[in-house]
Amino acid sequence: MWCLIIIMPKGRIHKKIQFYEDNKGCWINTSHARNQTGYPRITWKGKYIPMSRYIWEKNYGKIPEGLVVMHKCDNPPCINPLHFKLGTSKDNTQDAVKKNRMCHGEKHKHHKLTEKEVLAILKSNEGPRALGRKYGVEHTTIMKIKKRKTWKHLKINGLYNKISTG
Ligand SMILES: [Zn+2]
């Protein structure tokens, strides 16, 4: 077990953050509560923020406006600053979709299709371009659905596709 101790200019201990290092070099935070998706959060300057953001600013300085801290290691409880990178929140969403972390289609605000539509697409025998025109999305979106790369949590024929929860 390790502990990061953040000291204020006057020598007062500001934060104590405990973690252990796993075999991939991730610093797994153990001292703070995590949000629903597994990211530890910390109170700083009166705000309850992702700990990755706090650690980034303590290590590298202020985060430019509009950017978010992303995990290169895809390990939500990790607070190793070497495993962080900055990106836009759009990058972060695409990254998460790529890694299947975001599996609750309809709850996600960038969705265009409803679960009902996706089920209809999955059952349809029409081609991706025809379906894309029908539902107003790119044919590549249809292909991803058909190949079960997105919307994997949707049940068809009574079976759930297994999804990784990270
Ligand atoms: Zn890590």
- 106-154 pLDDT, tens digit per residue, is 444 344 678 888 888 888 888 899 988 888 888 888 888 888 888 777 7
116 and 166: one domain? Answer: yes
* Contact by Cβ (8 Å): 45, 62: no
> Could you tell me the distance, in angstroms and rounded to a whole number, from the CA of residue 22 to the centre of ligand 1?
9
Q: Which residues of the chain have pLDDT under 70?
A: 8-9, 96-112, 155-166
Name residues whose C-beta falls within 8 Å of residue 69's C-beta, 6 or more positions apart in sequence: 50, 52, 53, 55, 56, 63, 84, 85, 86
Whole-number Å distance, alpha carbon 74 to ligand 1 midpoint, is 7
Q: If we measure between CA atoms, which residue out of 43, 35, 46 comes closest to residue 77?
A: 35
For residues 26 and 46, state if they share a domain: yes
* Residue 110 and residue 69 share a domain: no
Domain containing residue 155: 104-166
Report every protein residue that has its C-beta within 5 angstroms of ion ligand 1.
Answer: 26, 73, 75, 78, 80, 83
Q: Rounded to the nearest whole angstrom, what is the distance from the C-alpha of residue 166 to the centroid of ligand 1?
A: 13
CA of 146 to the centre of ligand 1 (A): 32
Same domain, 142 and 88: no
Last residue of a domain, one of 98, 115, 144: 98
**Number of domains into which the chain is organized:** 2
